[in-house]
Amino acid sequence: MREDVSAAFDRDPSATSKLEILLTSPGLHAVWWHRISAFFYVKLNWHLVGRLSSQWGRFWTGIEIHPGAKIGRRVFIDHGMGVVIGATAIVGDDVLMYHGVTLGGKTLERGVKRHPTIGNNVSLGAHAIILGDIVVGEGSQVGAGAIVTKNVKPGTVVVGKL
């Protein structure tokens, strides 16, 4: 929890203290709520409890993270309202995402990986949409409003539609 608070404080230039981040950051709270929901959903295989828990997190934060998604360490969601992270998404460590980001699927097929994998140290701009079982490589930046449906090589900057 300490490293999450520190990561959020380091990435939010408007924050005046770690206490402020701890008490007021919906992105931080959503990640913590996800970790609890994922415990029920993945570790205990209590899918209904995990889904109910994640819905409460969505209600309180405006950020929807499916409890089946895998979220790395020190992930920070800044101005997170409207973020949606799908069931089979994988988000690496030290990822920064802004409001309205969607990590969505392109198929309704069950039992397959349908959502993106986001590498470590990736930045996802406001309203970026990343769809399908693709990989956004480590250290990449996806610009605000970008629509990404193909793999992104590590260290790449993506804007517009790919």
pLDDT tens-digit map of 107-144: 999 999 999 999 999 999 999 999 999 999 999 999 99
Architecture of domain 2-158: 3 Solenoid (2.160)
State whether residue 94 is helix, strand or coil: coil
Q: What is the pTM of this model?
A: 0.94
Domain layout of the chain by residue ranges: 2-158
Contact 150, 136 (CB under 8 A): no
Tokens 């769809």 -> residue: 131
pLDDT tens for residues 141-157? 999 999 999 999 999 99
pLDDT of residue 161: 77
Is 162 a residue whose pLDDT tops 80? Answer: no
pLDDT tens for residues 32-67? 999 999 999 999 999 999 999 999 999 999 999 999
Instruction: List the structure tokens of 129.
Output: 């949409």
Helix axes 26-38, 2-11, angle to 10 degrees: 150
pLDDT of residue 160: 85
Separation of alpha carbons 22 and 1, rounded Å: 9
